[in-house]
Structure 1
Amino acid sequence: MNNFKFEKKQAFRVIGIKTTLSDGTNIHSPQFSNQKTTFFKSVIDNGQIASLRPYADSPYGYAVVAKENGFIVYYAGVQSSKPLPEHADEVQFPGSEYLILSGSGGLSRLAFDKLEDQAFGSLLTDEYEYVYSGAPIAEVLLNGNPTDAEVEVWIPVHKRNVR
């Protein structure tokens, strides 16, 4: 497992179209996968993602999983420092240490799920020195090709308190 690293990132913002995910309360729940896929396809098909491209600060596509007001929400969008368009919502990412996992090949949704499973199943366990901070998680499509994807998952972490 050499597909991960820890990296300090400055605060950043993603603007996007948002939906609430159902049937789970944990930020990483397997039952969210199909909901995420269906939602992302719908915002591509209806042109909402294309409407955000002029606001993008990078060529990457972003999805975000966050906990807001007791619900798990999912954003499809772009990283942006530009004014928020009326039809979009925003999510702020803190300046933080991030666990960055990388993958490539196959469908982006499957790659994101595999990396998140690795993070929460193998790396962010009781035996590991880092823990998930609770802040939003970014799923980043690096090559713009969701059928033969190059992806990263950015999970905000902090060092475990040692007593």
Structure 2
Amino acid sequence: MNKVKIEKKPAFRLIGFRTVLQGGTSIHAPQYSNQKTTFFKSQIENGRLAGIRPLAEGPYGYAAVALEDGSVRYYAGVSSTKPLPAGADELHFPEGEYVVLSGQGGLSRLAFDRLEDQALGSLFTDAFEYEYNGGPIAEVLLNGNPMDAEVEVWVPVRKK
């Protein structure tokens, strides 16, 4: 099992770009993995992520998955309070408690999937004192190296 802790996080805003994930209605599903990878790569290749990198207010790269208007949406971007650039989207994370799962080694996309599988597949049991609250889930690349990644997944929770 990877490192798991509960942390209070301040509110923050992700600015970047989003897509709708197909084939599921829950926040996490195996069929999202390839869609997330394809979308993230496309945002790197078309230069959009590099274009917003100067707006980042910290060294981390972010992605997020959120349930919005009956759809599951995936975001790629940076944390920033600066004005939203033309063509970009934003996602607000409220202040609150988050289950933070940490991992390292291997491809970031696979590491994020493993941590989300752990959180939403085996961590939130009847015996665990917290439950997922339905908010957006953050995927955070800590070391800037998606090929040999140090990552965290932040899942918003509430006490049962």
Q: Which runs of 4+ in 1 moved over 2 A?
A: none
- Gaps of at least 5 residues in structure 2 are none
Could you say what secondary structure the match of 1:82 adopts? coil
Q: Once superposed, what is the RMSD of the aligned Cα atoms?
A: 0.8
Q: TM-score, normalised by structure 1?
A: 0.96
- Gaps of at least 5 residues in structure 1 are none
What is the one-letter code of the residue matched to 1:18? R
* 1:92 maps to 2:102: no
Contact 2:138 2:153 in 1 (8 A): yes
1:129 corresponds to which residue?
129
Cα distance per residue 1:66-108 (max 9 Å; x no partner): 0110000000000001111112100000101000000000000
Contact 2:14 2:91 in 1 (8 A): yes
Give matches, 1:68-147, under 5 Å: 68-147=68-147
Q: TM-score, normalised by structure 2?
A: 0.98
Cα distance per residue 1:102-150 (max 9 Å; x no partner): 0000000100000001101121122211000101000000111111000
2:59 corresponds to which residue?
59
Instruction: Write the distance in 1 (CA, Å) between the matches of 2:73 and 2:127.
Output: 29
Instruction: Write the distance in 2 (CA, Å) between the matches of 1:8 and 1:106.
Output: 28
Shift of 1:2: 5.5
1:151 corresponds to which residue?
151
2:27 corresponds to which residue?
27
